[in-house]
Chains A and B, each alone.
Chain A
Amino acid sequence: MLELALKGSKRYFAWVAFLLVLIGIGGLAYLDQLMVGLKTTGMSRDVSWGFYISQLTYLVGLAASGVMIVLPNYFHGYKANKHMVIFGEFMAIAACIMCLLFVVVDIGQPSRMMNLFLHPSPNSVLFWDAMVINGYLFLNLFVGWTCLTADRARLPHPKWLKPFIYISIIWAFSIHTVTAFLYQGLPGRHYWLTAILAARFLASAFCAGPAILTLVMLVVERVTTFKIPRNALKTLVKIIAYAMCVNMFFFALEVFTAFYSNMPGHTHPLVYLFAGVHGHHELVGLMWTFIGFAAISITMLVTPKLRNNMKLLPWTLVILVIATWLDKGLGLLIGGFNPTPFNTITPYWPTGKELLVSMMIYAIGALIVTVLFKVATDVKKEMGHSQKLPCGCSTEDGCDCAAAEEAEAAPAE
């Protein structure tokens, strides 16, 4: 089936070449990091994790998000999602690989990486995180590939696959819970030490993840014959709306707990992030951008007229992705390390080289998405599943394009 990725338009290969160039440039930055060490990054003794680990956190959310398509399809028999499932699974594969790569580039001695498995330490959450992310990667690859192969042969999905599908749905929740446990079990890091962190992670994953997936699918619609079934899209956007509301509600719970109790450990990180302390205001603007963008995206998502406006939708989703990224991909990590254990502030900002290495990983992710989605959309095309009709509908929508065309043509006659 992979051979489908080897045949394509000039535009397809130009895009692949472009990604390879980005990977090459980022690869040079990584080579430099390998040779001189992590001193090429902006991390320090006080802020000892940075951009890499925060991207891991954010992308675990993207990996877990496919379940918002898979779960309604398998647990609720919501068949409008039937032809979207494969994209959720393939996105998860790319996200899991990016997560693992972000761990690899973050460690100081990558050559000893396998110590994680040679000396397994079940007391360490990092060990479990590596387990669940690898497991989820395997499950999605296995389930996705098997289903697509069956589709292509015009066969029903094999029955024996069901247990794997159900396990993968539960597993999706586990990967983000375990990633939250990575943070929330550490004494003395007050911004992370909160029982609701895992729930917050899941909520933000289930809005940001599907939002990214939808944005990618809107691009897919432009470059292929695939068309998202209208009902599947509508449902997904509603899920995004609910998840974003829950996400911000959970954040508000944090704010209440911190400021009503007035416990210094709980208030300090929030004060640093949103107001600045000891003359450090590095993140204030970005954190308020997060609040502003979150408010805008929620307003646009909960108002039916704005939510159903397909011209506006991509912008709404982009705003939502930026808001959640500022919160979880930036503020969460820096707010955990600041104030430091000495109640001081050590600002952190990624260096250019750090961003180049991150770009490499994102480009690898994009390449995987490109190849897998190419295969999936080609199979869908072969099968005539969920294809674009001349009137802009999907073949799954059940709209009568011929009648619509006649109706349109009639007044002109």
Chain B
Amino acid sequence: MKNNRRNFIKLAGIAAAGLAVAPKAMASGGGHSPASVNKDAIHAKHWGMVIDTTKLNTEEAIAKLAKVCHSIHNVPTIPNNQDVKWLWADSYAHTFPEQENPHLAEEVHQRAYPLLCNHCEEPSCVRVCPTKATFKRADGIVAMDYHRCIGCRYCMAACPFGSRSFNWGEPREYLDLAKLNPEFPTRMRGVVEKCNFCVERLAVGKLPACVEASEGAIVFGDLTDPDSDVRKVLRERFTIRRKPTVGTEPSVYYII
């Protein structure tokens, strides 16, 4: 076929027509993600947690929950200050440094408090991430994409709660490879990680592991639903959140 103006215009016309139909054709061809939502999955508009520290307040009890959490998420135990932790215990002074008082009830002062990611409504870690490797899901959970994270650790500087850990070295060196949970990925070195509110369990209709193991001391539910368990507890009991002045609006509440 000879290349002339007439042919060129014909081809261009066909191409333009193709472009006009293509998006519709692609959409009807099932261009969306092949993944389907598990029918058992539980959903919320904003997941939240209430921890009853009158029930859960010893190092041992919290260590038990941490063990469950760390074993199902393949979190390594590293014996130095380059450690990784998703759930751990600390004193009142370290948990609520802005809300200490010299004559605090002795019993409250002596309790151990469980710490984890607050899954803030206004997460400063998400704001600073330069690659969107950490992001807030539609259900309020602040999640991590370990495959996109470049390990700049800006989120760690931005988190006012010290909830994030970095894999300074190879985390698998500190894991018992025989006891790995094959249903959850291990991480590689050089990426940041933290508590994920057990998104992988919510997706199959299970509550977070720490909630399940807490024997009722931790309540989990939808903060936007006035009839949910968490809202019921929040209505009835006095609760505080960590560092209210930093404006991140934590989704984890503590009954004191």
Of the listed residues B90, B127, B161, the one surrounded by the most CB atoms of chain A closer than 10 A to its CB is B127
Q: Which of A87-95, A146-154, A336-344 contacts B (4 or more CB under 8 A)?
A: A336-344
One of A36, A41, A115, A121 near B170 (C-beta < 8 A): A36
Kindly name the residue among A113, A124, A264 whose own CB sees the greatest number of chain B CB atoms within 10 A. Answer: A124
Is A45 close to B, CB under 8 A? yes
CA distance A403 to B246 in the complex (A): 71
**Cα A38 to Cα B158 with chains together (Å):** 20
Residues of B within 8 A of A170 (CB): none
A343→B192 CA distance, assembly (Å):
22
B82 and A45 contact, CB distance less than 8 A: yes
Chain B interface: which of A102-110, A231-239, A285-293?
A102-110
Q: Are B168 and A39 in contact (CB under 8 A)?
A: yes
Does B156 count as interface, using CB distance less than 8 angstroms?
Answer: yes
A109–B150 contact, CB under 8 A?
yes
State which residues 1-55 of A face B: CB under 8 Å. 36-39, 41, 43-46, 48-49
Chain A residues within 8 Å of B189, by CB: 36-39, 108
Cβ of A350 within 8 Å of any chain B Cβ, yes or no, is no
- Residue-wise, chain B 116-155 has the 8 Å CB interface mask toward A (1 for contact) of 0000000010011111110000000000000011111110
Answer yes or no: B243 CB below 8 A from chain A CBs. Answer: yes
**At the interface, is chain A mostly helix, strand, loop or mixed?**
loop
**Residue A187 is within 8 A (CB to CB) of chain B in the complex:** yes
B16: min CB distance to chain A, Å = 30
How many residue-residue contacts, CB under 8 A, span A and B?
A: 146
- Picked from B84, B97, B157, the residue with its CB within 8 Å of the CB of A48 is B157
Q: B94 contacts A342, CB within 8 Å?
A: yes
Q: Are B128 and A126 in contact, with the CB atoms below 8 A?
A: yes
Select which of A115, A125, A186 is within 8 A of B150 by beta carbon. Answer: A115
A-chain residues with CB within 8 Å of residue B90 when the two chains form the complex = 342
Q: How far is the CA of A124 from the CA of B154 in the complex (A)?
A: 9
CB distance from B156 to the nearest CB of A (A): 4
- Interface flag for A306 (CB, 8 Å): no
Closest to A103 in B: B152
Report if A222 contacts B (CB, 8 A).
Answer: no
Q: Residues of B contacting A311 with CB < 8 Å?
A: none
Contacts known (A45-B82, A49-B153, A109-B191); A342 close to B167, Cβ less than 8 A: no
Those of A100-152 within 8 Å (CB) of chain B: 103, 106-110, 112-113, 115-116, 118-119, 121, 123-127, 130
On whether the beta carbons of B169 and A45 are closer than 8 Å, the reply is no
List residues of B (53-96) whose CB comes within 8 Å of A's CBs.
Answer: 80-85, 90, 93-95
How far does the Cβ of B12 sit from chain A's closest Cβ, in whole Å?
32
Q: Is the CB of A37 within 8 A of B170?
A: yes
Distance of A56 from chain B, by nearest CB (Å): 11
- Enumerate chain A residues within 8 angstroms of B192, measured Cβ to Cβ: 108
Report yes or no: A188 in contact with B246, Cβ–Cβ below 8 A.
Answer: yes
In whole Å, how far is A193's beta carbon from the nearest beta carbon of chain B? Answer: 9
Q: Is A48 in contact with B246, judged by CB distance below 8 angstroms?
A: no
Q: Is the Cβ of B81 less than 8 Å from the Cβ of A346?
A: yes
The distance from the CB of B136 to the nearest CB of chain A, in whole angstroms, is: 12
Query: Once bound together, how far apart are the Cα atoms of A103 and B190, in whole Å?
Result: 14
> CB within 8 Å of A: which of B166-189?
166-170, 188-189
B152 nearest in chain A by CB position: A107
Q: Is the CB of B81 within 8 A of A121?
A: no
A321-342 contact mask (Cβ, 8 Å, vs B): 1 or 0: 0000000000000001100111
Instruction: Indicate whether B214 reaches chain A with its CB closer than 8 angstroms.
Output: no
- Do B94 and A344 touch (CB < 8 A)? yes
Q: Counting CB contacts under 8 A, is A189 at the interface? A: yes
The residue in chain B whose Cβ has the minimal distance to the Cβ of A41 is: B168
Q: In whole angstroms, what is the CA distance A212 to B237 when docked?
A: 61
Are the C-beta atoms of B191 and A108 separated by less than 8 Å?
A: yes
Q: Quote the shortest CB–CB distance from A123 to chain B (angstroms).
A: 6
**Main SS of the interface on chain B?**
loop
Residues of B near A183 (CB, < 8 A) are 157
B165 within 8 Å of A by Cβ? yes
A351 to chain B, nearest CB (A): 12
Q: Which of B83, B130, B151, B168 has the most CB of A within 10 A?
A: B130
Q: Which residues of A contact B216 (CB under 8 A)?
A: none
Q: Kindly list chain A residues whose C-beta atoms are within 8 Å of the C-beta of B165.
A: 45
Closest residue on chain B to residue A44 by CB atoms: B81
Please report the C-alpha to C-alpha distance between residue A158 and residue B101 in the assembled complex, in whole angstroms. Answer: 69
A37 to chain B: which residues have CB within 8 Å?
167-170, 189-190
Among A39, A116, A188, chain B packs the most CB atoms within 10 A around the CB of A188
CA A182 – CA B158 in complex, angstroms?
Answer: 10
- Identify which of residues 38-76 in chain A touch chain B, using a CB-to-CB cut-off of 8 Å: 38-39, 41, 43-46, 48-49
B162 contacts A by Cβ under 8 Å: yes
Candidate in B133, B168, B191 with the most chain A CB atoms within 10 angstroms: B168
Query: Given the interface contacts A107-B150, A109-B151, A186-B157, does A124 sit within 8 Å of B130 by beta carbon?
Result: yes
Complex CA distance for A262 and B16, rounded to whole angstroms:
69
A45 to B189, CA, bound (A): 14
Q: What residues of chain B lie closer than 8 Å to A343, measured between beta carbons?
A: 93-94, 97
Using Cβ atoms and an 8 Å threshold, which residues of chain B touch A264? 98
CB of B202 closer than 8 Å to a CB of A: no
Closest residue of chain B to A348 (Cβ to Cβ) is B81
CA distance in complex: A130, B130 (Å): 10
Q: Nearest chain B CB to A3's CB is how many angstroms away?
A: 38
B171 to chain A, nearest CB (A): 9
* B interface with A by C-beta (< 8 Å): 80-85, 90, 93-95, 97-98, 124, 127-133, 148-154, 156-162, 165-170, 188-192, 243, 246-248
**Chain A residues engaging chain B, CB cutoff 8 angstroms:** 36-39, 41, 43-46, 48-49, 103, 106-110, 112-113, 115-116, 118-119, 121, 123-127, 130, 182-183, 185-189, 264, 336-337, 340-344, 346
A-B contact pairs, 17 of them (CB 8 A): A37-B189, A43-B82, A43-B168, A103-B152, A106-B152, A108-B151, A108-B152, A108-B191, A108-B192, A124-B128, A124-B129, A126-B154, A127-B130, A183-B157, A186-B124, A187-B246, A337-B157
The 9 closest A-B pairs by CB, nearest first: A108-B151, A188-B160, A108-B190, A39-B169, A341-B162, A343-B97, A342-B94, A187-B246, A37-B189
